[in-house]
Amino acid sequence: MHTKSLEIRTRIYGGISHPDVVASHSNIGAVYDSQGQSERTLEHYHKALEIDIKIPGQDSPSVSDSK
């Protein structure tokens, strides 16, 4: 369901960096983490962080929480 949500949110926002897309990547990463799939977990967490940095900027409190 999280993957479907990511697909929908990416289509809605047309590739624009948006907090909802960050949330989807974080949710997918959390599922992979619970399954012990570290490589896939990091892939989605890094993507979420990459997008999050674009939204408010690297010095934002939300970005520092992700590091």
**Whose CA is closest to 23, among 48, 41, 40, 60?**
48
Contact call for residues 52 and 66 (beta carbons, < 8 A): yes
Is 50 a residue whose pLDDT tops 60?
yes
Question: In which band, very low, low, confident or very high, does the pLDDT at 62 lie, cut at 50, 70 and 90?
Answer: low
More confident residue, 67 or 20: 20
Asked if residue 66 has pLDDT above 80, the reply is no
Q: What is the pLDDT of residue 63?
A: 53
